[in-house]
Structure 1
Amino acid sequence: MTEVYNFNPGPSPIPAPVLKKAKEEMFNYENSGMAVMEMSHRSPLYEKIHYQAINQLKELLSVPDDYEVLFLQGGASLQFAMVALNFLPENKEAAYVLTGSWSEKAAKEAQTLGNVTTLATSESNQFKHIPEVDLSKVTEKTAYIHLTSNNTIYGTQWSSFPKEPAVPVIIDMSSDILSRSIPWNDVDMIYAGAQKNAGMSGVTIVIMKKSLLESANDKLPPSLSYKQHASKDSLYNTPPTAAIYITSLVTDWIKGLGGVEEMQRLAKQKADLIYSVIDGSSGFYTGHAEPEARSKMNITFKLTNENLEKEFLTQAKNTGFIGLNGHRSVGGCRVSTYNAVPLNHVEKLKSFMETFMKKNA
């Protein structure tokens, strides 16, 4: 069997040591005779997993004491609606920064629930850059600012977030959580599906300032209320126990490697390997994102023509490189270098790209 080098954009690889430990204990957790997914979510055995995952997220991301950590379901996509349901009253408007498909989808869902304005957008440039945000456009009517920190389809990423805005900032960090530090002084809430950097699909991580939580809408069905989930420590209903267990193992793994700072260093090292091939290819490979906006999680590029691109993807797949196709909406190629992608896999892909270029330039 050909060795597989998994560069899928999500769900993405889970660290090999995490899979090994899960195989050893997940189906007979602490010799209880029960698999993790069989336990009562009210039992002390599961609660140990639950609170360990919460506490390790707090530690790794240096979450201040005045923030709440929640485990929810429905993916980041449900958060598009929950954010507006909880924080967008009738007499206010939400300001969205549009940097790609996911931020557009977030704004579209919010529009069905209230007034939405576009604070900034890079659409006219095919989402190749991160737009400048003019905070003077933020008024008393602005309920919150929403942005997407990393754009998986177009391969751009915010290098820093707006400083000291006058209203809450809410960030979808689904594709770069646990790969970078978070400036909590400038961020009131983040949310992220776990399946790229924080575990497996099924659980969504939400971290929000308690003062923001207190302002949430009181007149919602409990299942859609952040206040309700926070009051029950994310145990209002049965949580995705297996997914939270995997997140607890992933946070263990990151902590053992040196924390988020080490993930951030490795993210840059891995991304730089692929960008160096693109930049040194004399146009054989053409990156989509402008250099100052390049993502360290998703590297997007095209080849000189469509036939060559198809051949590249075919040969890559036959060699064991999985998930290099660009998103169906834009085409091209995409290399996703999330936390669990080993450095040596990226080195092998770099070598493959260089060899293919030499043979076909």
Structure 2
Amino acid sequence: MNPRNRLNFSGGPGALPQSVLEQVRESIDAVPGVGLSVLGISHRSDWFAAVVAELEDNVRRLLGVPAGYHILFLQGGATQQFTMVPLTLMQGSQVPADYLHTGYWSGKAIAEARREGPLRVLWSGEGEGFGRLPSDGELDFAADAPYLHYVSNETVEGLQFHRLLGRDDVPRVCDMSSDFLSQPCPVDQFALIYAHAQKNIGPAGVTVVLVRDEVIGKAPEDLPGFLDYRSHAQAHSNFNTPPVFAIYVVLLVTRWLLGEIGGVAAMAAINQRKAGLLYCALDGSDGFYRGRSAPADRSLMNVAFSLPDVHLEQAFLAESQAAGFTGLAGHRSIGGIRASIYNALTVAEVEELAGFMADFQRRHRR
């Protein structure tokens, strides 16, 4: 690999598919059929209305989203959803909402939700250093909770739920920011799903929200317009000036998933193969590389690991950077190494990283 052609293994923003990047380059100069740069097209134009309509349809096709759901493209990242969710669903309830504390980002969601009403931390992995996820036997879901909130994939710690959680009679809310459109999802089992784009589906600046009609219908009437899902649904994601460029790039990514990859089931198979390459490198290293997460809870998106000491980790990061691999430093909250292998990274590119890891181990094993 030419080090000038760097590979992005960052936790986010992640890489974009090469064919999408080529279309983006062209569209920054002039969108085909429009003749204007995508950076200067009005959000009130017929063209942008068509972009939003096609993107909604593409997400419905990719995930099999049933009737009765709004698909919104909002601003504020997942962080804004940490507040919008309890504002909408707690509704002055004296009964606490159920939250799972499985890592860094679920902790952020809990802190914000506490500002809006009562909540119960149903399970926390903090005491064990967030090295695993709870088993079914450790979870006692409340039948009267206004909703259950959890994060499907903890980006920082490299943990991912590989099963559906909760009760069918309690609304499920899920932050899918780092595994959205990476695999099939039973959308009809959730009241609300949210995901910021800068992992698998586009650049920073847009957050996708799938929200059931009845959730919007029962929301308090006195919410600020910008924090009210109804405002955005009624305006077709055009309540205020939206991030036109970011939404357009997400449209291109969904076209890529549909036309080049063949859908999210095919994408999931590719992602499983990529993750398998790196976990095989960890498991076969005789302890040189030390996986952070319990094997049953390993993420297909974020492979977090450490080396025997900090000096080796520093050498790994320096040598990998020189070899053209970027973004491998672990999150500032835990350190170590993290390889994020989102949709756009190819099997061949992950094979390159696995090869580098094998070579580094040979040269540095004591």
Scaled by the length of structure 1, the TM-score of the pair is 0.97
Does the aligned pair in 2 maintain the 1:193–1:204 contact within 8 Å?
yes
Aligned partner of 1:37 in structure 2 is: 39
Aligned partner of 2:149 in structure 1 is: 146
Instruction: Pick closer, same or farther for the CA change 1:328–1:163 going to 2, 3 Å.
Output: closer
Does the aligned pair in 1 maintain the 2:91–2:219 contact within 8 Å?
no
Paired with 1:253 and 1:164, the residues of 2 have a C-alpha distance of 35
Aligned partner of 1:167 in structure 2 is: 170
Shift of 1:43: 1.4
Does the aligned pair in 2 maintain the 1:164–1:186 contact within 8 Å?
no
Paired with 2:15 and 2:49, the residues of 1 have a C-alpha distance of 26
Shift of 1:234: 1.0
Paired with 2:100 and 2:359, the residues of 1 have a C-alpha distance of 40
Amino acid at match of 1:184: V
Query: Equivalent residues in 2 for 1:238-249 (5 A)?
Result: 238-249=241-252
Aligned partner of 1:280 in structure 2 is: 284
Deviations 1:287-314 (Å, cap 9, x if unpaired)?
0000000000000000011111111111
Aligned partner of 2:78 in structure 1 is: 76
Paired with 1:37 and 1:4, the residues of 2 have a C-alpha distance of 26
Instruction: Pick closer, same or farther for the CA change 1:312–1:223 going to 2, 3 Å.
Output: same
Paired with 1:117 and 1:270, the residues of 2 have a C-alpha distance of 36
Aligned partner of 2:205 in structure 1 is: 202
Q: Please list every run of 5 or more consecutive structure 2 residues that lacks an aligned counterpart in the other structure.
A: none
Aligned partner of 1:232 in structure 2 is: 235
Paired with 1:336 and 1:63, the residues of 2 have a C-alpha distance of 27
Shift of 1:280: 0.5
Aligned partner of 1:262 in structure 2 is: 266
Shift of 1:136: 4.4
Instruction: Pick closer, same or farther for the CA change 1:135–1:330 going to 2, 3 Å.
Output: closer
Shift of 1:282: 0.7
Shift of 1:46: 1.4
Q: 2:114 aligns with which of 111, 123, 128?
A: 111
Does the aligned pair in 2 maintain the 1:323–1:335 contact within 8 Å?
yes
Paired with 2:348 and 2:220, the residues of 1 have a C-alpha distance of 48
Tell me if 1:318 matches 2:322: yes
Shift of 1:39: 1.9
Paired with 1:239 and 1:143, the residues of 2 have a C-alpha distance of 30
Q: 2:349 aligns with which of 332, 336, 345?
A: 345
Paired with 1:314 and 1:42, the residues of 2 have a C-alpha distance of 47
Q: 1:211 aligns with which of 193, 196, 214?
A: 214
Does the aligned pair in 2 maintain the 1:138–1:166 contact within 8 Å?
no
Deviations 1:182-232 (Å, cap 9, x if unpaired)?
112422211000011111110000001111221112211111101111111
User: How large is the RMSD of aligned CA atoms in angstroms?
Assistant: 1.3
Paired with 2:21 and 2:69, the residues of 1 have a C-alpha distance of 30
Does the aligned pair in 2 maintain the 1:69–1:207 contact within 8 Å?
yes
Scaled by the length of structure 2, the TM-score of the pair is 0.95
> What fraction of aligned residue pairs are identical, expressed as a percent?
40
Aligned partner of 2:364 in structure 1 is: 360
Deviations 1:212-270 (Å, cap 9, x if unpaired)?
22111221111110111111111111111100000000000011111101110111100
Does the aligned pair in 1 maintain the 2:123–2:139 contact within 8 Å?
no
Aligned partner of 1:126 in structure 2 is: 129
Paired with 2:212 and 2:330, the residues of 1 have a C-alpha distance of 36
Shift of 1:163: 5.3
Tell me if 1:192 matches 2:195: yes
Tell me if 1:250 matches 2:236: no
Amino acid at match of 1:339: N
Q: 1:10 aligns with which of 8, 12, 19?
A: 12
Instruction: Pick closer, same or farther for the CA change 1:317–1:135 going to 2, 3 Å.
Output: closer
Number of equivalences: 360
Paired with 2:47 and 2:29, the residues of 1 have a C-alpha distance of 13
